[in-house]
Protein backbone atom coordinates (compact mmCIF):
# COMPACT_ATOMS: atom_id res chain seq x y z
CA UNK A 1 0.00 0.00 0.00
CA UNK A 2 1.38 3.36 -1.05
CA UNK A 3 1.93 5.84 1.76
CA UNK A 4 3.14 9.40 1.27
CA UNK A 5 3.75 11.54 4.35
CA UNK A 6 4.53 15.23 3.96
CA UNK A 7 6.26 17.35 6.57
CA UNK A 8 7.98 20.70 6.90
CA UNK A 9 5.11 23.10 6.45
CA UNK A 10 4.44 26.02 8.74
CA UNK A 11 4.15 29.77 9.10
CA UNK A 12 6.88 31.89 7.53
CA UNK A 13 7.31 35.58 6.80
CA UNK A 14 7.47 36.88 3.24
CA UNK A 15 10.95 36.39 1.85
CA UNK A 16 11.58 33.42 4.09
CA UNK A 17 12.31 29.78 3.28
CA UNK A 18 10.87 26.38 4.03
CA UNK A 19 11.86 22.86 3.05
CA UNK A 20 9.11 20.32 2.54
CA UNK A 21 9.74 16.59 2.69
CA UNK A 22 7.66 13.65 1.50
CA UNK A 23 8.53 10.22 2.85
CA UNK A 24 7.30 7.42 0.61
CA UNK A 25 6.70 3.79 1.44
CA UNK A 26 5.03 0.85 -0.27
CA UNK A 27 6.46 1.73 -3.68
CA UNK A 28 9.66 1.30 -5.67
CA UNK A 29 10.36 4.99 -5.21
CA UNK A 30 13.08 5.29 -7.83
CA UNK A 31 10.83 4.44 -10.77
CA UNK A 32 8.09 6.91 -9.89
CA UNK A 33 7.62 10.41 -11.20
CA UNK A 34 7.19 12.56 -8.10
CA UNK A 35 5.37 15.86 -7.94
CA UNK A 36 4.45 18.64 -5.57
CA UNK A 37 1.01 20.18 -5.97
CA UNK A 38 -0.65 22.92 -3.97
CA UNK A 39 -4.18 24.09 -3.35
CA UNK A 40 -5.06 27.51 -2.00
CA UNK A 41 -8.50 28.24 -0.50
CA UNK A 42 -11.10 28.59 -3.23
CA UNK A 43 -8.68 27.57 -5.97
CA UNK A 44 -8.01 24.43 -7.94
CA UNK A 45 -5.08 22.19 -7.10
CA UNK A 46 -2.10 23.11 -9.26
CA UNK A 47 1.20 21.48 -10.14
CA UNK A 48 4.12 23.26 -8.49
CA UNK A 49 7.05 21.08 -9.51
CA UNK A 50 7.83 17.60 -10.75
CA UNK A 51 10.83 15.31 -11.03
CA UNK A 52 11.04 12.23 -13.20
CA UNK A 53 12.68 8.94 -12.33
CA UNK A 54 15.66 10.12 -14.34
CA UNK A 55 15.90 13.41 -12.48
CA UNK A 56 14.38 15.73 -15.06
CA UNK A 57 12.59 18.59 -13.34
CA UNK A 58 9.80 20.96 -14.29
CA UNK A 59 8.31 23.94 -12.50
CA UNK A 60 5.28 26.17 -12.62
CA UNK A 61 6.20 29.59 -13.96
CA UNK A 62 5.15 31.16 -10.68
CA UNK A 63 7.87 29.34 -8.71
CA UNK A 64 10.74 29.13 -11.20
CA UNK A 65 13.95 30.45 -9.69
CA UNK A 66 12.55 30.27 -6.16
CA UNK A 67 11.66 26.60 -5.60
CA UNK A 68 13.83 23.53 -6.11
CA UNK A 69 12.52 19.98 -6.25
CA UNK A 70 14.84 17.08 -5.51
CA UNK A 71 14.71 13.42 -4.56
CA UNK A 72 16.82 11.00 -2.55
CA UNK A 73 16.10 7.53 -3.87
CA UNK A 74 18.18 5.92 -1.12
CA UNK A 75 15.91 7.50 1.49
CA UNK A 76 12.66 7.21 -0.51
CA UNK A 77 12.16 10.91 0.07
CA UNK A 78 11.07 13.84 -2.07
CA UNK A 79 11.95 17.43 -1.19
CA UNK A 80 10.82 20.92 -2.10
CA UNK A 81 13.12 23.77 -1.13
CA UNK A 82 11.11 26.98 -1.17
CA UNK A 83 12.94 30.31 -1.04
CA UNK A 84 11.80 33.91 -1.36
CA UNK A 85 8.33 32.90 -0.29
CA UNK A 86 5.42 35.17 -1.10
CA UNK A 87 1.94 35.44 0.44
CA UNK A 88 0.51 33.95 -2.74
CA UNK A 89 2.47 30.76 -2.02
CA UNK A 90 0.11 30.12 0.89
CA UNK A 91 -1.60 26.78 0.30
CA UNK A 92 -1.77 23.17 1.32
CA UNK A 93 1.09 21.38 -0.41
CA UNK A 94 0.60 17.79 -1.53
CA UNK A 95 3.06 15.11 -2.53
CA UNK A 96 2.06 13.00 -5.55
CA UNK A 97 3.56 9.76 -6.83
CA UNK A 98 2.78 8.68 -10.35
CA UNK A 99 3.70 5.54 -12.27
CA UNK A 100 0.79 3.48 -13.53
CA UNK A 101 -1.52 5.11 -11.01
CA UNK A 102 -1.46 8.24 -8.92
CA UNK A 103 -1.18 8.45 -5.15
CA UNK A 104 -1.41 11.43 -2.83
CA UNK A 105 -0.25 12.43 0.60
CA UNK A 106 -2.44 14.14 3.17
CA UNK A 107 -0.88 17.55 2.61
CA UNK A 108 1.03 20.06 4.70
CA UNK A 109 -0.02 23.66 5.27
CA UNK A 110 2.29 26.47 4.21
CA UNK A 111 1.32 29.96 5.31
CA UNK A 112 3.31 33.00 4.22
CA UNK A 113 2.34 36.03 6.24
CA UNK A 114 3.82 38.86 8.22
Whether the Cβ atoms of residue 36 and residue 93 lie closer than 8 Å to each other: yes
- Whether 94 contacts 22, CB under 8 Å: no
Residue 8 pLDDT level (bands cut at 50, 70, 90): very high
The Cα 78–Cα 62 span in angstroms is: 20
Within a 10 A sphere around the Cβ of 64, how many other Cβ atoms? 10
82 pLDDT band, cuts 50/70/90, is very high
Cβ–Cβ < 8 Å for 110, 91: yes
Angle among Cα 78, 81, 83 to the nearest 5 degrees reads: 165
Residues 6+ apart with CB under 8 A from 30: 53, 73
Determine the pLDDT at residue 18. 98
Q: What's the pLDDT score for residue 95?
A: 98
How confident is the model over 60-77, as pLDDT tens digits?
A: 999 999 999 999 999 999
The total number of residues shown for the chain amounts to 114
9-55 pLDDT, tens digit per residue, is: 999 999 999 999 999 999 999 999 999 999 999 999 999 999 999 99
Query: If you ran DSSP here, which 8-state letter would residue 27 be given?
Result: S
CB 93 within 8 A of CB 12: no
Query: Taking residues 97-105, what's their average pLDDT?
Result: 95
Give the confidence band of 105 by pLDDT, cuts at 50, 70, 90.
Answer: very high
What pLDDT shows up at residue 63?
98
Amino acid sequence: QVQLVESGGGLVQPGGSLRLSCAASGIIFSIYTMNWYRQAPGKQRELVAGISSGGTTNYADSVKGRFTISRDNAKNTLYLQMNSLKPEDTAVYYCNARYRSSSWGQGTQVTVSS
